[in-house]
Chains A and B, each alone.
Chain A
Amino acid sequence: MKLNKRSVAHYALSDAPADHTGFLRTWGGPGTPPTPSGTGRRCWFVLKGNLLFSFESPEGRAPLSLVVLEGCTVELAEAPVPEEFAFAIRFDAPGVRPHLLAADGQAAQEAWVKALSRASFGYMRLVVRELESQLQDARQSLALHRSTPWKVNASHRKPQAPDRSSPAWENGHFLPRDHSPGCFMRDVGSRPAGRDLAEWELQGPASLLLSRGQSPVSPETSCFSTLHNWYGQEIMELRQRWQQRVQGSQPEHEQQDRP
């Protein structure tokens, strides 16, 4: 079976955050007997997401091996020699030998077992979904408690619609300017009529969405990219206003013009 090994190796060496690293003894690999024996081989292990890489050393420029951590459980284990700090990655797939590993001490063993147990994509997805719904709850209760708008000195604001040529906000990926249906970006082009500018800007994206009868959280994780875009725009507007303020007398003028 083919795998984009070169890209995988680049990912292993990239500055994408490592979730855990350290020296471990490993059994298994080419030339080793089917039943683990002896003291094993000491390698430098790097856990990134659901991928466990091993290297010759921390300075290694090419990974020796990769273990994809899906469909597995991690548990403490007996090592072939009286090595007290062993653990095994056991796979659900039939006919697959567990990967036996051993740490240098108890603290390291526990830390590795914990880190590897939480490495699966599914676990991360669960946590993200949980936080997504918590955020929705927090925003809904905040919107409900906001009976009066939070008025702030609006004298520095220019009463004009901001430039809506939003950047292709990069989040490690390119985002298209033409957003998919269900994304609220198209609605943000015009301010809601009859609302105080300050109030609108300070309520944030979620309450704006709620006021339009839309849920800020979609069943998919597209919420994050739309919110990311929204904040990107907000920052652009803030930057614009700051620049105008810095430019001097113009805000003074606006103060007189505003009703």
Chain B
Amino acid sequence: MANEVILLDFWLSMFGMRVRVALAEKGIKYEYKEENLSNKSPLLLQMNPIHKKIPVLIHNGKPISESLTIVQYIDEVWNDKAPLLPSDPYQRAQARFWADFIDKKVYDAWRKVWTTKGEEKEAGKKEFLDALKLLETELGDKPYFGGDSLGFLDIALVGFYPWFYALETFGNFSVEAECPKLIEWAKSCKEKESVSKSLADEKKVYEFATERRKKIGIE
């Protein structure tokens, strides 16, 4: 059967970017469909009726949701090149743990920094940097979280990188000042075509976030 792959996505979603990078790493041809999140398509509502969220990967008509699950699915189906998860069960558990940490701590702090103000925003800023510092320690001296090559955890985190500029501007801080090794890591990820062509432009992210903040009364 011919492989038909469709990705329902939104250009600045960190979660969507994860899937784009994974597809690019594996060299998979797919159709990208941009969703208007204030007017979700019938296809999205049909393919992810429970959460109604992107990203959704549709492979030969069957939907897979939740970005980390999608990345693991891609890794298992297209297992002929660029392995994303390590083969050792303990290493896999470690990668999954840190990806879960990103989804809980980094995401929560990200939301606070750009959509709240005052005390909550300051708390978010601290939580964001604390979380990144922990990740930087986990990275250690390795070029990638995955070791010598880009892996699952690199993919889990790299989608946040285009958001750094916006968060730094709104929160008045510098990720590079606090986590220089992490910025080095992000830059070397971006040198890979699979990453650079998948990440949103940070200035456009900033513009979008600024508009949204005005609408919710934060600016």
A and B bound? no
